[in-house]
Amino acid sequence: MATTQATKRSYPFTLQLGGKAITFRLMTPDDKEKLARFARKIDEQDVLLMRTDIRQTEVLDDWIQNVQRGRSVTVLAINGKDEIIGYATLHRAPRTWMRHLGEIRLFVLKPLRGTGIGKVLLSEMVQIAQEQGVQRIVVNISREQKHVRQMLERLGFTVEALLTDWIMDHAGRTHDLVIMSHRVEDL
């Protein structure tokens, strides 16, 4: 199965982060089972606030189809055991009035946060966004994700909107949505 990856960047590459060799590479359809294993490791609290529940087969299928169609580019972080430990996706809707925007979705397993993996993944997404002509990067988070908001603010992202009760978790509770963005040319 061929993939459509809209990037000229060179993958894979390996960096030493947190004392471990971490490989960064593009996602392919062959990663479906690895993604499913990764999803099973995600803490229930994190799953409650994810935009989509990647533990569901149909959600993984949609994700892979978006990559194949060129609507999304996903970079995976892989540990020395060939396991996915994090990812970042740049999602675009090129035929809409928001075609100049790129939404970034990023996740790193809880035990590996603070090692620099998230920063590398975010950096890759910014560079891919620049390649694709994205003018503004958007990140949607829940208000409770204060550590994510602080990291994004340190990088120059600003809050564009706070929408009350716009997120409903899998347990049916509502949460506030924070929309943050940054102009790509300024990153």
SS3 91: strand
pLDDT value, residue 46: 82
CA distance 129 to 140: 17
DSSP letter, residue 85: E
* Residue 1 resides in a domain: no
Total domains in the chain come to 1
* Residue 2 resides in a domain: no
| Side chain identity at residue 115, one-letter code | T
pLDDT value, residue 50: 78
pLDDT value, residue 155: 87
pLDDT digits (tens, 9 = 90+) for 115-165: 999 999 999 999 999 999 999 999 999 999 898 899 889 889 999 999 999
pLDDT digits (tens, 9 = 90+) for 20-44: 999 999 999 999 999 999 999 988 7
pLDDT digits (tens, 9 = 90+) for 101-120: 999 999 999 999 889 999 99
- The answer to whether 109 and 85 have CB atoms below 8 angstroms apart is yes
Domain of residue 111: give its range: 13-186
CATH of the domain at 102: 3.40.630.30
Q: What is the mean pLDDT of the chain?
A: 90
* Residue 57 resides in a domain: yes
* Residue 8 resides in a domain: no
Determine phi and psi for 144, rounding to 5 degrees.
-70, -20
* Residue 89 resides in a domain: yes
DSSP letter, residue 151: H
* Residue 75 resides in a domain: yes
* Residue 51 resides in a domain: yes
* Residue 90 resides in a domain: yes
